[in-house]
Chains A and B, each alone.
Chain A
């Protein structure tokens, strides 16, 4: 990691497919030239000598004339040295350590007669064959002789062979030697410094044939390289040893001058003296190709090298002190440390955003996405998990000819063992399903559950929907999981073709289509064998009645003047049923083509106003009646209990008295109670019928509103949720109370039109709605607000002529959570009220008991 790169001055490549070792490079000034020679020898035995001549006018690229000599030697070149190796000559010669011999060559130039320049040649002067494989060649004036250099060949097995120029002197063996490690000769004190096999730094005196260490230092690490340099003025010698983790500098007496711990893995190094102040400089190349320049211990410079070098040196080429590096593949480079930082530039990043405008657009889409994500119910996430755990499939088995019952099959495929799985079915009245619930204590493998749908005895009710819903619930780690599945039963189960006389029909609804509507025979294919033609049913018209109650009838026919269907019948619920059936079938028929074209259209905004009002009124009235009856029943039963008590008192009395009056009263009250209970039951069945009808009317109203493109579907679904038509008869809370609270909330918030809406009073949660008129008004106002009925709008505009209000309405978003929250509150309060009715009744009786008794 460094800011700088070394910069090339001159570079070449030595041969192809050759390899070079850690001693393959030497810089020498053989013939006292002004320029240094670069001598490189490869393991393949090729010796090359380069000389780069400073020519100011030219670029310093490699020229063929820079290579002075290239020669193939017999055997791989281990090391090259230069020195005064020939007796009687003061010139420097080249000594080459081949793997099995030491050769000494003279390097000379023959001046050329033409412009070709000089010719160079290498002459073998003498050769010392060796018995051992050469590892290193040491050169030096052993024994302190001046003007002559001797050679010492170090073999891989630790044999040292000494040669005094041309003649062999002696051979010896290094003690405790196992693996070869670098050796350096210090001429100043005539010492050899090396690492012994037990990782001591040893010093060997060569004048004797025996090895006795002059000084030792426990290095404790493997040696990578060792070099020495002499201070020219102070006669101080620096011996620098590079080991695996440290670089240590010794004096020639063995004292440690300094140590530096390295934080990288060193590969090779070179030492020299700073020319200006004669300080020791160390160049270290690391295993990741970085060059570190130290002045003693302080890091002066670090630069990235183009490759990991095996040899590093310093030469006077072009500039004095240029760096020469050689890689193991033969790349030879002269570089200098440039001061221009080559900053690291991060790779270009594929950035899709280029301008401010794009950024703005991206931010907006991002915010939109986040909003959508929040809107999305979190259930969808949990649903996916649930689907992975348990696969539920709901199927209706095609029924047999008797048409008495319809089989429904639920298939459960768990992916992990589940316990306590509940399956609950739901169908609309008067259909009933048996069994209604399944409880599986453990579910480990695929299982099938059968249930049968039959028609209840109460034949007055028209089926409001043919949906079958299965709800599967179970717990995993105390987290409830719910899966809902829905399917349809065929309409053939409840509807039957019949003949209709038109005069009885009271209701008519027309639904238009975009294209030619599908023929009825294609829509009702399942009726083919059901006396379709006998009942005057054709492609254009068809009449249906309920299978269990032939009073209610409805005719569907294609419109003659326009595209569309016409529904004529005497019962709105039946029309609603047929309408949903046809809508469903029509959609499934043409699902492949464009969706918009499959839609029905309905122009009127709000039909069935009277019917709705009527249904609501009768529902409220019936409910009130039931309530009154219940209150009456309460009183009667209180009275009955009193009479019983009185009777008991009389019976316990020791004095006999006539009880016939009480008996009469007793019987009379009893009969009244029974009678009231019967009428309550009757009213309750009646209420169920009315509820079903109300449900159908609400459904058809909203369905038709949805078909009208002029009305926003969002608001319709909002209103539909507020006036939820499911579960009209619950024990806890009536439909009226719910609808009342929801509608008032809607009118105060989303559907608010003017300030007056803010003053609408929310009814008390435990207050029962008994007045149908106020509820009707609420319903009508809410529907009119949604449909944007002209009359209503103009009237309101007169009161508050602020037109912006309308726009404002649409922008407002209701908070559905709030609504549900209020519901819960309502529920809980009513529950406490209804908790213990008998207890309250008792209290009432106790208080008034004495008075009543006297009356009797």
Chain B
């Protein structure tokens, strides 16, 4: 078989390493074959490429040096950062918060680790664990790691010396410029040079190719120039609307903390692309971020109408039912996930909790045993914490205490465990010890109100008893 044909076939089969090997051999024979060169470039890019629409995260520096903020204290319901302020006041269901202080979601997403409206000090004080570690700038984290990983795999040096490229020259070559841009952007993760290339190329095509506009927007967004990115995306949207474009523009608005604008944009997008699952997912996420859970669940339900296998929707609806005192319905959603083949500690943990609160006690221990056997370090602490909950429910405080201690031995920053341990210790009459547990809990998680309340309660009780 012809080697070039085979390389094309392997690229489509996504066997990138073999494809790269064949291309390398071909390039050794004829180093000027542009088609092979582009093919290898594409293979290298696709090897490390991820869908970057959801992968971005807001860094600590971006929060601190945020110059786009319109109002310091936004009105409730208009900002993702003030979402926590109006929680639970009118809402009967109370959801616990994740490590970064956001209301717990059904699934872990890059965005769900972003923290709510907190100051820089608070961000820096938040314990840095696998669940809460956040990049310092948006250009680091995942994308940077991808770039470094690719360099390691090439023992004989980088494939293309980007600093030596004549950008104007390559931008003019229509067949090469786009794969080259993707290579620089995704593989080398060199946003500045990618931006240079995009600027040159968009000039050459007389600002007509929306592809280049999107790429310019992507570069600006990663460089933190949100308003420039917005301009590029909007101009592209006028020319030819696409799902990707709507998602990217909405990302910019979310970064600018304008969830309502993003929501309006999505409503507009749904007119162009009715029943599009990705758009509805984003809408549901926005409502979840605003802590408007009924609306969020409404969209997730619509998603399930369109795509019944959507795991995020199933998990989020399950969580919603669990926290609105319908554990038996939540149980059915998690059962479905299990039947679909999901097999991890979190799922069994949730199943166990649902079983317990739905009074199906025979399944509880089995679920938790499985959860423990599947748990890896970070989530094992959560599993032990939940087992402690079950033990408290049964009334066996000895086991509960031991479970909480195990949770803390795995994750010493598990604030809720500290709080519950404090309660158990207090019931045993060790007031000082209990107080110190409440203190460490509130120091680790300033967003939790329970330790403050407990501390106050204990102080009051001690005072009250000493006066009588």
A interface residue numbers (CB < 8 A to B): 1-3, 21-22, 43, 76, 78, 99, 133, 135, 156-157, 176-180, 197-199, 217-218, 220, 222, 224, 245-246, 258-261, 263, 265, 267, 287, 297-299, 302, 310, 328, 341, 343-344, 346, 349, 351, 353, 359, 366-367, 370-371, 373-374
Contact = CB atoms under 8 A, between A and B. Distances in A.
Given A218-B211, A287-B14, A261 B244 contact: yes
Given A260-B276, A349-B373, A366-B399, A178 B306 contact: no
A242 B215 CA distance: 21
A2 B340 contact: yes
Contacts of B4: 133, 156
* Residue from B34, B277, B311, B396 whose CB has the most chain A CB atoms within 10 Å: B277
A328 B211 CA distance: 34
A177 B365 CA distance: 63
A80 B176 CA distance: 32
B2 A346 contact: no
15 contacts: A3-B340, A21-B9, A43-B1, A78-B5, A99-B2, A179-B42, A220-B211, A220-B242, A260-B277, A261-B278, A263-B278, A297-B276, A343-B339, A346-B338, A370-B398
Contacts of B336: 3
Nearest to A296: B275
Nearest to B11: A179
A245 to B, nearest CB: 7
Contacts of B276: 259-261, 297
B457 interface: no
Contacts of A135: 5, 8
A259 B269 CA distance: 12
Interface string B174-189: 1111100000000000
B308 A299 contact: yes
A99 B343 contact: no
A353 B210 CA distance: 64
A243 to B, nearest CB: 11
B402 A370 contact: yes
Contacts of A367: 396, 398-399
Contacts of A246: 243-244
B261 interface: no
A681 B34 CA distance: 108
B9 A1 contact: no
B35 interface: yes
Interface string B300-332: 000000111101000000000000000000000
Given A3-B339, A22-B9, A265 B277 contact: no
Given A218-B210, A246-B243, A179 B35 contact: yes
Classify chain B: how many residues form its interface, as a range: 35 or more
B178 A341 contact: no
B307 A299 contact: yes
B341 interface: yes
B456 interface: no
A1 B309 contact: yes
B39 interface: yes
Contacts, number: 133
B194 to A, nearest CB: 16
A179 B8 contact: yes
B129 to A, nearest CB: 22
Contacts of B339: 3, 341, 343-344
Contacts of B240: 217-218
Interface string B1-41: 11011001100111000000000000000000011001100
B242 A258 contact: no
**Considering the complex of A and B, which 7 residue pairs feature the smallest CB-CB distances, nearest first?**
A197-B175, A344-B341, A178-B175, A198-B174, A133-B2, A343-B339, A299-B307
A467 to B, nearest CB: 35
B370 interface: yes
Nearest to B308: A299
Given A21-B9, A258-B273, 9 more contacts: A2-B309, A135-B8, A156-B4, A178-B35, A259-B276, A298-B306, A298-B307, A351-B369, A359-B365
B175 A177 contact: yes
Given A245-B244, A344-B343, A220 B399 contact: no
Nearest to A350: B373
Contacts of A178: 34-35, 38, 175-176
Contacts of B5: 78, 99, 133, 135, 156
A600 B274 CA distance: 93
Contacts of B12: 22, 224
B162 interface: no
B206 interface: no
B369 A199 contact: no
A302 B244 contact: no
Contacts of A3: 336, 339-340
A76 B2 CA distance: 9
A259 B175 contact: no
B156 interface: no
A362 to B, nearest CB: 10
A43 B1 CA distance: 7
B355 interface: no
A328 B13 contact: yes
A198 B178 contact: yes
Contact of B277 (A157, A179, A263): A263
A176 B398 contact: no
Interface string B201-232: 00000000111001000000000000000000
Contacts of A199: 178, 211
Given A178-B34, A297-B306, A198 B177 contact: yes
Nearest to B239: A218
Interface in B159-193: 174-178
A177 B209 CA distance: 18
A302 B309 contact: yes
A344 B14 contact: no
Contacts of A267: 13-14
Contact of B369 (A179, A217, A349): A349
A371 B242 contact: no
Contacts of B274: 297
B311 A1 contact: yes
A334 to B, nearest CB: 23
B182 to A, nearest CB: 10
A218 B244 contact: no
A671 to B, nearest CB: 56
A469 to B, nearest CB: 31
Interface string B388-422: 00000000101101100000000000000000000
A206 to B, nearest CB: 22
Nearest to A134: B5
Contacts of B373: 349
A281 B5 CA distance: 31
B311 A179 contact: no
B277 A261 contact: yes
Contacts of B209: 198, 218
Contact of B175 (A1, A198, A217): A198
Nearest to A248: B242
B210 A220 contact: yes
B238 to A, nearest CB: 13
Contacts of A366: 399
Contacts of B402: 370, 373
A261 B35 CA distance: 29
Nearest to A198: B174
B342 interface: yes
A2 B336 CA distance: 10
A353 B370 CA distance: 13
B366 interface: yes
A245 B8 CA distance: 19
Contacts of B401: 370
B315 to A, nearest CB: 12
Nearest to A1: B340
Contacts of A346: 338, 343, 370
B8 A156 contact: yes
B45 to A, nearest CB: 10
Nearest to B2: A133
